[in-house]
Amino acid sequence: MAAKKGGLGKGLDSLIVNKNEGVVVANPEQHGAPVEVEIDKVEPNKLQPRKNFDEDKLQDLAENIKIHGIINPLLVQDRGSYYELIGGERRWRAARIAGLKKVPVIIMNLSEQEFVEISLIDNIQREQLNPIEEAMAFARLIDEFKLKQDEVAERVSKSRTTITNALRLLKLDKRVQDMIVDDKLTTGHARAMLAITDLDKQYEFAERAFDEKMSVRDVEREVKKLLNDKADKKSKAAGLDPQLAAVYQQTQEKLKGVLGTKVFINAKDNKSGKLEIEYYSQDELNRIVDLLESIK
């Protein structure tokens, strides 16, 4: 699919009525007034970023719908024999539980890029995604539409730092990501564990953090201790002078602050070694390259 770096073809503003509330809602003047369609002719978006729905909250919403109906129409794309949801899957699921036969929808006419982008942004702006689903949604906007992190930040009304930190979660072991989804770990816990590059050890540490009910500070302290122990062993194996090893550790921290990403100095001996700089996306790599070129 060809990407349009300028964003949505018609502009996101043409699709939003109450954007000050941070919610994507189709503008009836642009896409027509709401109409009622049979609920069985509406199908969920196969690429919906949200995978987890709280059954208790769905039941509560269903009870509310029985009394008040669906206040905000669902957003759908006409697929000929059925309507595919763009936004409003939670309301659609609750309406089915409530026993509704028909639901109000606004039928939109979007390009495939607009369809995917609006679907992702609708979920993100409604804050209905868990941290991993949200990170995956950001990654799709970057990878599929070739958006830069600051462009994603602007579209979803979040800071670039938020986008960068979210994307870093996708570097975690899948089992650790699942622990975040299950609310066993916070994103603060998880980000502190990114420094453990061995994925099996990362997962083992995550389980330990959960079992011992560690705070984020506890995790940061234990990870630092783990890495220092590893660095000490590596230094001894390489025959490094202890004072030089300490200097390398301080230099790593300085470079991390300058480059805004993790940096590792792997010393072979007291005179030579290898410098490793981590990045988490093509956009992040380009940022680091631009930064290095600006100071040469």
Return d(Cα 142, Cα 235) in angstroms, integer.
39
Contact of 252 with 265, CB cutoff 8 Å: yes
CA 105 to chain centre: 28
* φ, ψ of residue 25 in degrees (nearest 5): -135, 135
Catalytic amino acids?
Answer: 89
Phi, psi of 176 (to 5 degrees): -70, -40
* Backbone dihedral angles phi then psi of residue 27, each to the nearest 5 degrees: -80, 115
Question: Exposed, middle or buried by CB within 10 Å (0-12, 13-18, 19+), for 73?
Answer: buried
Residue 43 three-state SS: strand
Nearest to 226 by CA among 257, 256, 255, 202: 202
Beta strands 102-108 and 74-78 are parallel
CA distance 2 to 144: 9
3-state DSSP call for residue 105? strand
